[in-house]
Chain A
Amino acid sequence: MTEQSTTRTRRRGVTEQQRPLWLLTPGGLLMTLIILVPLLLAVYISLIDLDQYTLRRWLDAPFIGLRNFTEAFESGLPRSIWISVSFAVISTAATVPFGIAAAVATQNAFRGRALVRAVFLIPYVLPSFVVATVWRTMLQPDGIVNTMLAKVGVDGALWLSGPTSFWTLILVEIWAAWPFIYLMALAGLQSVDGEVHEASAIDGANWWPKLTHVILPYLRGPVLLACLLATLHHINNFTLPYVLFGAPAPDDVNVMPMIVYVTSFQGLRFGLSAAMAIVSLLLIAIPLFAYLRALRLDVHEDGGRK
Chain B
Amino acid sequence: MGRRRMRAVVAVAGAVTLAAGLGACGGGDEGGGGGAGKTLNVLIGANTQYPQEFRAWQKSIADRFKAQTGATVEFEEFATANDELTKIQTSVVSGAGPDVYAVGTTLTPTAYSTGAFVKLDDERWQKVGGKERFVPATLGISGPDQQNQVGVPFVSRPFVMAYNTELLRAAGISRPATTWDELREHAKQLTKGDQYGLAVAYKDNFDPWKFVWGMSVQAGNPLVDGRTARLQDPIVRQAYQTYFGWVTTDKVVDPAAIGWTNSQAIAEFAEGKTGYMALTSTTAAKALDDGAVKGKWSFALLPTVPPGAASRPATGVEAASILSGDNLLVADYSDNQDLAFEFVKMATEQDTQLDYYKAVGNLPANAAALQTLQSDPKLAPVAQAAQKSVATPFTGAWADIQLAMTNVVVQSIPDLSKGSVSDAQLDGRLADAQKSAQSALDRAK
Contacts and interface: CB of A to CB of B under 8 A. Distances in A.
Contacts of A7: 1
B249 interface: no
B114 A248 contact: no
A248 B1 contact: no
Contacts, number: 102
- Interface SS of chain B: helix
Given A53-B396, A55-B114, A27 B1 contact: no
Contacts of B258: 141, 158, 161
A141 B417 contact: yes
Interface in A46-79: 51-56, 58
A163 B417 CA distance: 13
A249 B403 CA distance: 11
Interface residues of A, number: 36
- Interface SS of chain A: loop
Contacts of A58: 93
A287 interface: no
B413 A161 contact: yes
Contact of B15 (A34, A158, A246): A34
Nearest to B264: A140
B416 to A, nearest CB: 9
Contacts of B256: 140-142
B352 to A, nearest CB: 31
Nearest to A38: B18
A266 B413 contact: no
Contact of B92 (A31, A56, A164, A265): A56
A162 interface: yes
Given A161-B414, A162-B414, A268 B399 contact: yes
Given A163-B414, A267-B400, A141 B92 contact: no
B85 interface: yes
Interface in B369-392: none
B440 A250 contact: no
Contact of A141 (B259, B396, B400): B259
Contacts of A285: none
Given A30-B8, A30-B11, 8 more contacts: A27-B4, A33-B15, A56-B92, A141-B417, A158-B259, A162-B413, A267-B399, A268-B85
Q: Which 4 A-B pairs have the closest CB atoms?
A: A162-B414, A142-B256, A161-B413, A30-B11
Interface of B: 1-2, 4, 7-8, 11-12, 14-15, 18, 82, 85-86, 89, 92-93, 110, 113-116, 203, 205, 254-256, 258-259, 396, 399-400, 403, 406-407, 410-411, 413-414, 417, 440, 443-445
8 contacts: A34-B11, A34-B18, A53-B445, A56-B92, A141-B259, A161-B413, A246-B410, A266-B400
